[in-house]
Amino acid sequence: MLRKQDLRPIDPYTWEIPTSFHRQMQVPVRLFANERLLAYALKDEALQQAVNVARALPGLVGFVAVMPDVHQGYGFPIGGVAATRWPDGAISPGGVGYDIGCGVRLLVSGLTFEMAAPHLDALADALNARIPSGVGRGGTLKVSHADLRGVCHQGARWALEKGYATPEDLERIESQGVMAGADFGKVSQRAKERGRPQLGTLGAGNHFVEVGLVEQVFDEAAAQAMGLREGLVTVMIHTGSRGFGHQICSDYVRALQGEPYVRGLPDRDLAYAPLATLLGQNYLAAMRCAANFAFVNRQVITHQARAAFEHVFRGVYAPEAWWLRLVYDLHHNTAKVETHRVGGKRVKVCVHRKGATRAFGPGHPDLPGVYRPVGQPVLVPGSMGTASWVLVGTEGSMARAFGSTCHGAGRVMSRSRAKKQVRGAALLARLEAEGIHVRAGSMRGLAEEAPSAYKDVDWVVESVVGAGLARQVARLVPLAVIKG
């Protein structure tokens, strides 16, 4: 396990593990964190995992970046960013994670707290009734083999054609809701069987639908572009590709374990394929299928959330008050081919982001026109019962972290430890006493996601803002939470 003296401070929010730390390191590791979050990062194997990435992944450029919400994962740390040269670098499923395409979506209504408050209990019931959640839970949407192929190849455009999205929705999704280059033929039959019944479902673990309130705005111009004002009611959706993506990751990790070079890796979960190989290209094509599934999954849940709001508020307020308008949707578990400036030169790279969010700065051509002047919206959910944040990407993020920033609060306690230390019923009572309406599939699942199991999201945001990776736009507080 690394010690603080193994890291070199660059500034109050940036720390570096130099290549001299281990003779096999190809690039340094850079951690963005304040002193308090650095102490958390040193308590598990997350930083050692980042060092292992710097040792093992061929074609790395620049450095391995580690976000302040980092914690230990499988192979790669959760909160890690690594870029390999295209096309002679490598792709590692462990650098994307098992929940391919996991991400966050934010919607905003025209309702104020005063308008919504008398109806929050009914709203929590309506959301819970319409959005299936829980381990392995299937949904009510009937998805054929042809539909699943359309989801994988068309992404959110499939949802638009089926009536689950509006044209404006697609304009406000990262990459317009589709990763090009997906190939349904590279997905196993088992993954297809797992995926078909789960479209439009939330899952369990840290996934949720949260009704929130814009508590404070910090950047008026960015907030205005997003339609956020203090006192407005929001909905945040956090989920991914469910069993579909998990099976795709499992299939390719298994295939890679047979490669002879895996035996020489510091961690077998770092198994990779050279990007130029058939196996590497096949994984990328299948991963893109799961990423597109995740876009559509959050879009269908949006459709269900809109139906819940209509059920509760129709006849009470005009549609412009209760209609949920999409602010933005983004992934935080993907690998994307992008061009970044490295060592003063523009280089095409494959950027692995595992528990890290794209945070492109103002003017980037990949951003929707409405956000190009202010930067990419970044959605940072907190732990259940605490605040969440809306940020925007910066030029600093482009220069310092391959256009990336944090993705959430980050765990400090394992799920098993949380269940031992927290009683779900007591947590439920406390949250309800604080005015947060909770609907949970089980008390054990609720205990796993207790706020005490996570870092302080305000510290995380302070760190990425201090490091120049993002700017604060708005702080949200929870009113109701739906969990599996």
What is the largest distance, in Å, between two alpha-carbon atoms of the chain? 68
Q: Is residue 92 part of a domain?
A: no
452 Cβ contact partners less than 8 Å away, ≥ 6 residues apart: 413, 418, 421, 422
Supply the range of the domain harboring residue 398: 4-86+101-412+454-483
Percent of the chain clearing pLDDT 90 (strictly above): 88
Q: Which of 209, 165, 194 minimizes the C-alpha distance to 100?
A: 194
Q: Which of 302, 201, 240 minimizes the C-alpha distance to 104?
A: 240
Average pLDDT over residues 249-270: 91
Q: According to the model, what pLDDT value does residue 441 have?
A: 82
Q: According to the model, what pLDDT value does residue 67 have?
A: 98
pLDDT at 52 over 80: yes
Q: Is residue 445 part of a domain?
A: no
pLDDT at 9 over 90: yes
Q: How far apart are CA 310 and CA 1, in angstroms?
A: 52
pLDDT at 138 over 80: no
CB of 181 closer than 8 Å to CB of 287: no
Q: Is residue 418 part of a domain?
A: no
pLDDT at 258 over 90: no
433 Cβ contact partners less than 8 Å away, ≥ 6 residues apart: none
Q: According to the model, what pLDDT value does residue 451 have?
A: 87
Q: Is residue 246 part of a domain?
A: yes
Query: Which of the residue ranges 211-215, 363-367, 424-428 would you say has the lowest mean pLDDT?
Result: 424-428
Report residue 15's pLDDT band, with 50, 70 and 90 as the boundaries: very high
Q: Is residue 436 part of a domain?
A: no
Provide the residue type at 229 as one letter.
R
Average pLDDT over residues 341-363: 97
Q: Is residue 405 part of a domain?
A: yes
Domain count across the chain? 1
pTM of the predicted model over 0.75: yes
Q: Is residue 354 part of a domain?
A: yes
pLDDT tens for each residue of 211-235: 999 999 999 999 999 999 999 999 9
pLDDT at 237 over 70: yes
Q: According to the model, what pLDDT value does residue 259 have?
A: 84
Q: How far apart are CA 214 and CA 234, in angstroms?
A: 7
pLDDT tens for each residue of 285-342: 999 999 999 999 999 999 999 999 999 999 999 999 999 999 999 999 999 999 999 9
The CATH number of whichever domain residue 216 belongs to comes to 3.90.1860.10
Q: How far apart are CA 76 and CA 51, in angstroms?
A: 9
pLDDT tens for each residue of 437-458: 999 888 888 988 888 889 999 9
pLDDT tens for each residue of 162-211: 999 999 999 999 999 999 999 999 999 999 999 999 999 998 888 999 99
Average pLDDT, the chain: 95
Percent of the chain clearing pLDDT 70 (strictly above): 99
Q: According to the model, what pLDDT value does residue 137 have?
A: 67
Q: Is residue 290 part of a domain?
A: yes
Report residue 134's pLDDT band, with 50, 70 and 90 as the boundaries: low
Q: How far apart are CA 364 and CA 372, in angstroms?
A: 6
Report the catalytic residues.
407
Q: How far apart are CA 124 and CA 133, in angstroms?
A: 13
pLDDT at 136 over 70: no
Peptide bond connecting 87 to the previous residue in cis, omega within 30 degrees of 0: yes
